[in-house]
Structure 1
């Protein structure tokens, strides 16, 4: 493993799609630690509370990505491991708010209603003392990557949409100390990331987290010849699978099916036994219920899968 850190900057226009058509911005070897410099989901253009979201962005031009990064040796059918070492917030405030026709509790372009949409509101929230402040209220910083993934094999899919390759999952589990497992669908894996969050509640029901520019410090590893269908997340304590779809129950089915299959393989259990036991110990967490696809994390503690005398 290299002890030096390779800084990666987006020195051309930010891509707003996950696609193999984008030219790589960097080439790295597995084991190399990289620091990927990312703007926020509004490309750092939303800086005052008297602005409107419509002043700086137009759907679907949200979540500018850093990437793609070409990982040497990665081939279709491999699994890319992204060991997240740190997520460095690079300014002393976050932006949040409400976007008309976006979020769980408002009419949207695909869930039309006669009722009025939520208003266009922008709020700047100070960051100090390792906390995000909302007036006199505060919560601890818990930074994570809202978007993280690899290029799909054929499609160009907007960076607001999560799917089998990762993308805009908005799962707080994509944080420092965890490893994100992503399918490799193209030579070089073609890794993208962005949409840094200082913190966010599960579900992101209002549509906008505490949005910040960040530097993702990570290290890549390859599992050769082992394909996975959906993103996985691991640490010393948990194994997790992320499913993304609409309706929410289909995202849940994807995540739970992937977890049952994974546990049955890794712990040498038949599928029936794995399902029976996971039913008793499963943790379900909602990543987002506001994006074009919803995301669900199915998680189990490893200690509950290990036989005890």
Structure 2
């Protein structure tokens, strides 16, 4: 069965939140997301920043410890703009390199969904107005943590979380 789900609330933790939808194994969900800063397709701030998550969805019959197989049939940008950080995150380099990292900033991109491209528009970029092919992925994805824990979507562990894993496409 295919479910059309329009989110009205988002969470920045993976935890014991009430499910917004119960599905059966093999069901499909068509939905939308917001960006890591909580902005929707119209640039409206609809939820606090911090990797807000759509859901949670409950899979009927799933038990703690089960392996869930999730197939992402399609990921399509829902806007004509994007942003990214301009520096490597401090938590991914050796601590003695952190002081040498440039000051973090934000770069903006124009997204052309029909052409399948994104063009860097931040004027101070050393790369200039570079255009790259779109390759959308899900940055945060996971299941509820054990027990009553609520784990920040800024982190990742055995429950999933903020993985920025390009294999989620």
TM range (shorter): 0.7 to 0.9
Distance 2:77 2:8 in 1: 20
Distance 2:33 2:135 in 1: 17
Contact 2:90 2:98 (C-alpha < 8 Å) held by counterparts: no
Alignment of 1:127-206 (within 5 A): 127-128=111-112, 129-134=115-120, 135-154=128-147, 155-175=149-169
Distance 1:118 1:79 in 2: 40
TM-score (normalizing by structure 1) = 0.44
Q: Does 1:75 align with 2:74?
A: no
Distance 1:83 1:114 in 2: 37
Relative to structure 1, the CA distance from residue 115 to residue 131 in structure 2 (aligned partners, 3 Å threshold; closer, same or farther) is same
Q: Which has the higher helix share?
A: 1
SS at match of 1:96: strand
Contact 2:12 2:51 (C-alpha < 8 Å) held by counterparts: yes
Question: Structure 1: which 5+ runs fail to align?
Answer: 48-55, 176-309
- How many residue pairs get aligned? The number is 154
Distance 2:98 2:108 in 1: 31
Query: Rg larger in 1 or in 2?
Result: 1
- Output the aligned Cα RMSD: 2.9
Structure 1, residues 94-119: CA drift from partner, whole Å, max 9, x if none? 112347xx714999xx9488947633
TM-score (normalizing by structure 2) = 0.78
Q: Which residue among 107, 112, 115 is the counterpart of 1:123?
A: 107
SS at match of 1:84: coil
Distance 2:11 2:137 in 1: 20
Q: Does 1:10 align with 2:4?
A: no
Contact 2:20 2:55 (C-alpha < 8 Å) held by counterparts: yes
Relative to structure 1, the CA distance from residue 42 to residue 112 in structure 2 (aligned partners, 3 Å threshold; closer, same or farther) is farther
Partner of 2:78: 90
Distance 1:118 1:105 in 2: 14
Q: Which residue among 41, 44, 54 is the counterpart of 2:39?
A: 44
Distance 1:112 1:157 in 2: 28
Distance 1:113 1:78 in 2: 40
Partner of 1:220: none
Q: Which has the higher strand share?
A: 1
SS at match of 1:85: coil
Query: How big is the shift at 1:123?
Result: 2.3
Distance 2:144 2:98 in 1: 38
